[in-house]
Structure 1
């Protein structure tokens, strides 16, 4: 893979003195791509998302109840 050369911040600095990027940094990404086919089944993902949404809703309702109610305005939060 060809990467564009970076212009040194200091024009007097020798680019050869800088540490070179090694291809070892790209190996974890390739490993992640290989491990992706082991996804949970579709139904399990939907269930996990539903659980997250339910938990978020409960947290927001609890937060809304703990906030001071504004005076003179109707309550906009409907449980």
Structure 2
């Protein structure tokens, strides 16, 4: 069993914050590409990947917190 610490929660929080910045930047890029009448397919594919990665980051953070709370309850 993995022993998580608050440092693991903090790292997950940093990953989530960084992911949110990447998503915002990618959305801005897609908007600029559309305004300039460029293809957005690749940028949209990357945005979808960022979003699915964000789901994984949030799930991992939740699992860390759950493990910490379970350990504290015992």
The TM-score with structure 1 as length reference comes to 0.36
The structure with the largest helix share of the pair is 2
The TM-score with structure 2 as length reference comes to 0.38
